[in-house]
Amino acid sequence: MKNAVGREIPEEALAVELKNGRKYEPYQGKGYRDGKYIKKAGPTSKIYQKPQESKLLPSIRDAIIATGLKDGMTVSFHHHFRDGDYIVNMVMKEIVDLGIKDITIAASSLGSAHDPIADYIEQGIVTGIQTSGIRGRMGDVVSHGKLKTPAILRSHGGRVRAVEEGDVHIDVAFIGAPTSDEYGNARALGGKGDCGVLSYAVPDSEYADKVVVITDTLVPYPNFPPSIHGVNVDYVVKVDEIGNPKKIASAAARMTQNPRDLMMAENTAKVIAACPWFKEGFSFQTGAGGPSLAVNRFLEPLMDEKGIKMAWAIGGITGPICELQRKGKVGKIIDVQDFDVAAIEDIRTNPNHFEMTASEYANPANKGAFVNKLDFVVLAALEVDIDFNVNVITGSDGVLRGAPGGHPDTAEGAKCCVIVTPLTRGRMATICEHVVTVTTPGDCVDVVVTDYGTAVNPARKDIIEALDKAGIKHVPIKELQEKAYSLVGKPDDLQWKDKVVAILEARDGTILDVVREIKPYEN
Amino acid sequence: MSIPRPKPERFRLRRTMMFMNAQKPGLIKDAYIYGADSIMLDLEDAVAENQKDSARFSLYHALKEIDYGNTEVIVRINGLDTPHWKEDIRVCVAGGCDGIRIAKTESAHDVQVVDEAVTEAEKEFGVEVGRTLLMAALESPKGVLNAVEICQASPRLFGVALSGGDYRKCMQVKVIPGGIEMLFARGFMLNAARAAGIQCFDTVFTNLNDDEGFRAEVKQNVEMGFDGKSLINPKQIQIVHEMLAPTQKEIAEAEKIVRAFREHASEGVGVFTLDNGKMIDIAFVPGAERVIKLAKASGIYEGDL
């Protein structure tokens, strides 16, 4: 059956069983489930009526045993420690050593720090993966059909929806925390590996049957105000190190000096400034990549010129937006993740820099997330096609190597979603006829800025009119694609086997696309 | 695959000329995207002595295979005191570049020597004789003092440019904010160029972190009457274009002149007075037309002239 972005969704994918018995549907277009209802799936929570002295257990192994984790269960993790994370590998090693098998990992995201999981997949111990990001060796083995069930890939908002709706049921959540007290009140600040916020772990703490907090810095009770509330936590474990602090909080990204990136950033800022929503009190989100990050710098003079300020910025936060706030040009920063030391330092000290939960950020099934009130979002892409569909998950070789993250959530929510990407990368056309995998549907993408020109989604007549009025040149996206192919050639189609190895969920839980097992390229 | 280029226009808009190393494929493959009026592919200082031949290969294929569209493509060749310049010229002409920048020009003779070599190459490669344009770079006091004869040395010559680095070295001065050390060279060269009816371009500004200094220098260039400037980084392009753009008032005035002159000319009247009392004759027209052209290139012209 073809879905609303023209992708063939095979029966095999539609038949995948969800924990709550909900049946998969193909993607129906943006806003499809708006106004409908969900029944939230609460956890089975243990009663602790008698006063406990402490929830501390001596080791991760003891915690796993105490939670009653057994074959066939689902465990969860968050990705606030990014490439510095030790938690996933430590916990999974103990699970495997205990002989527990048929485990599903439901993480907010997984990265290159988690290569050892690839072995457990190959050994058939990990049989399900539900995540936003999938990279490195894990992406490789899944793309080669080694995972027993199709991986389910969700946006950050889509994951919260899936957890709350019960599509996935977390049996045990393992939550790494920079600091915790012995009752499990956990914070992202004050330890050896501060990560700023613990937003993505909050739904896990509320919806998992059992919750284990793992920290390397025990602090006196009560560790307030907490991100993870002790009332939701069963056990606390102290380990030597939760992660590598240098990789948890990377040094502030240097502003790109690449003239190509700078030009694209400047043109993106001009597009934003030409739109009717660029007025006093606008809201904004941008990514941490080179050109996206540089948009901050070009936006500032345009704000000054018009004499306006930004009311709030959300998202993964980086130094430049904090700097803009210090200059008095941003009202509030609402933070779901910190990408650099500067952002972490800022949330530590700045009373107008707040933590939000993953649900508040992007969940399409709550009563109105921040993304719904967003004016502008600037995003990157691996590929964009002539229907404005975006791919951020599969590489040009068809192998899983990315993450939808907040991309589909912000794209659907924001009034104006701008993708900024060079026309070609090496020998690959970024603007193409058909993306390998649709991760953000084209009906949510409004403007594409490349080094060779800007294209506006023809559905957005209002933006076209605004750009014309401002004298900003734009071309049909087909023209950009043809230019890209004239430079680097038309790529051969990838070759696939039949097996579906991953399901790309739209944020509302319909199926946007599938990824099949990759076939080694043959001429 | 060979991309045909239109016949170069001797007097076109050249607000910005961006230098880039002809040897770097990543730079020259799509240098036009930044919007400079002209790009300057460099075979001279940017290329190491033992890489001159490989740079020529890279340049030739770029000229043949990359569609630079309306962006003018000029090549800076090695000096006449080197063993490279003749072969540089053959490659430029065979590849079909729009113009050649003669480095370290010191006399009319230097221009004529290059002119002859270009003619020879045009005949050798079956290129229309006279197609390839020339510009001369003045890099020494001698070159500056000979600007008058240099500017009149060849019908191929569209302009003359100052090269500040070498000139300052000869004069034993350093870069001074405000440009007092270059005042004579700039002023004299401008006069020589205007006397000969050719264009005139200012030298590069090399401190990429000094936006304010760059703007000040461009402002002075505009006030002195330069047609354009040599650049070393794409981020300088838009600044020059913005600062060279005429004001709406200037555009309105130019429109008035051009329209009024056309009307009066059809009635056989050569001199007339505008509604603001300003007396206009044919001498005002080229200036007014230049303003309209600049406004169009700057993307700020909304009229229909």
Could you report the per-residue pLDDT of A58-88, keeping only the tens digit for each? 999 999 999 999 999 999 999 999 999 999 9
- Sorting pLDDT into bands at 50, 70 and 90, what band is A408? very high
Report the residue count for chain B. 305
A451–B33: do the CB atoms touch at under 8 Å? yes
Residue B23: per-residue pLDDT: 85
- Model confidence over A193-220: pLDDT tens digits? 899 999 999 999 999 999 999 999 999 9
B116 lies within 8 A of chain A by CB: no
Distance from CA of A266 to the nearest CA of B (A): 10
At the topology level of CATH, where does A70-248 sit? Answer: Glutaconate Coenzyme A-transferase (3.40.1080)
At the topology level of CATH, where does A259-494 sit? Answer: Glutaconate Coenzyme A-transferase (3.40.1080)
Mean pLDDT of A110-119: 95
- Cβ proximity of A441 and A448 under 8 Å: no
Q: Is A259-494 the same fold as A70-248?
A: yes
Handedness of CA A231, A233, A239, A245 (dihedral sign): negative
Burial class (CB in 10 A: 0-12, 13-18, 19+), A103: buried
Mean pLDDT of A338-346: 94
CA distance A345 to B134: 57
Flag whether pLDDT at B126 surpasses 80: yes
Residue type, A434: H
How is chain A split into domains, by residue range? 70-248, 259-494
Buried-state track A235-264, b at ≥16 Cβ within 10 A, e below 16 = bbbbeeebbbbebbbbebbeebeebbbbbb
Residue B146: per-residue pLDDT: 98
Burial class (CB in 10 A: 0-12, 13-18, 19+), A119: middle
Residue A523: per-residue pLDDT: 66
In this complex, the residue of A259, A473, A487 whose CB is nearest that of residue B34 is A259
Residue A254: per-residue pLDDT: 73
Q: What chain B residue is nearest to A468 in terms of C-alpha separation?
A: B299
Cβ-Cβ pairs closer than 8 A, A with B, add up to: 22
- Sorting pLDDT into bands at 50, 70 and 90, what band is A428? very high
Percent of chain A with pLDDT over 90: 93
Q: Which DSSP helix (H) or strand (E) runs through B38?
A: strand B38-42
Sequence-ordered list of residues with C-beta below 8 angstroms from that of B218, at least 6 positions apart, any chain: B205, B229, B239, B240, B243, B244
Q: Of A479, A443, A471, which Cα lies nearest the Cα of A459?
A: A443
DSSP string, A168-205: S--SEEEEEESEE-TT--EESSSSSS--S--GGGHHHH
- Model confidence over B59-96: pLDDT tens digits? 999 999 999 989 999 999 999 999 999 999 999 999 99
- Cβ proximity of A159 and A366 under 8 Å: no
DSSP string, B74-86: EEEPPPTTSS-HH
- DSSP label of A114: G
Q: How many other β-carbons are positioned within 10 Å of the β-carbon of residue A223?
A: 25
Flag whether pLDDT at A256 surpasses 80: yes
- Partners of residue B29 in chain A, C-beta under 8 Å: 487
A263–B299: do the CB atoms touch at under 8 Å? no
- Partners of residue A260 in chain B, C-beta under 8 Å: 33, 234
Sequence-ordered list of residues with C-beta below 8 angstroms from that of A122, at least 6 positions apart, any chain: A141, A146
Sequence-ordered list of residues with C-beta below 8 angstroms from that of B60, at least 6 positions apart, any chain: B91, B94, B95
- Model confidence over B253-266: pLDDT tens digits? 888 888 888 887 77
- Sorting pLDDT into bands at 50, 70 and 90, what band is A89? very high
Q: Which DSSP helix (H) or strand (E) runs through A290?
A: helix A290-306
- Cβ proximity of B105 and B111 under 8 Å: yes
Percent of chain B with pLDDT over 90: 69
**Angle in degrees, CA A299, A305, A309, rounded to 5:** 60
Residue B1: per-residue pLDDT: 53
DSSP string, B228-249: EEEESSGGGHHHHHHHHSPPHH
Distance from CA of A451 to the nearest CA of B (A): 7
- Sorting pLDDT into bands at 50, 70 and 90, what band is B26? confident
- Cβ proximity of A270 and A295 under 8 Å: no
| β-strand partners of B273 | B279
Q: How many other β-carbons are positioned within 10 Å of the β-carbon of residue B305?
A: 15
A220 lies within 8 A of chain B by CB: no
- Model confidence over B210-252: pLDDT tens digits? 999 999 999 999 999 999 999 999 999 999 999 999 888 889 8
CA distance A401 to A440: 16
- Partners of residue A451 in chain B, C-beta under 8 Å: 30, 33
Could you tell me the two tokens for A3? 């879905």
Average pLDDT, chain B: 92
Match domain B16-244 to its CATH number in 1.20.200.10, 1.20.120.1200, 3.20.20.60, 3.40.50.720: 3.20.20.60
Q: How many helices (H) and strands (E) does chain A have?
A: 16, 25
How is chain B split into domains, by residue range? 16-244, 248-297
Mean pLDDT of A395-403: 93
CA distance B239 to B222: 12
Angstrom CA distances, B162 to B41, B98, B135, B226, stand at: 17, 20, 11, 11
Interface list for A 440-459 with B (CB within 8 A): 451-452
Q: How many helices (H) and strands (E) does chain B have?
A: 12, 10
A235-238 and A210-215 beta bridge pairing: parallel
Cα atoms in the Cβ-side hemisphere of radius 13 Å centred on A463: 23
Flag whether pLDDT at B143 surpasses 60: yes
Sequence-ordered list of residues with C-beta below 8 angstroms from that of B91, at least 6 positions apart, any chain: B56, B59, B60
Flag whether pLDDT at A418 surpasses 90: yes
- Model confidence over A283-337: pLDDT tens digits? 999 988 888 999 999 999 999 999 999 999 999 999 999 999 999 999 999 999 9
pTM: 0.90
A143-146: long-range contacts, CB 8 A cutoff, minimum separation 24 = A143/A398, A143/A399, A143/A400, A143/A501, A143/A502, A143/A515, A143/A517, A143/A518, A144/A501, A144/A517, A144/A518, A145/A497, A145/A499, A145/A501, A145/A517, A146/A121, A146/A122
Could you tell me the two tokens for A440? 């953000």
Q: Of A472, A454, A452, A257, which Cα lies nearest the Cα of B35?
A: A452
Report H helices in A406-505. 407-413, 461-469, 477-488
* Coil/strand/helix, residue A147: coil
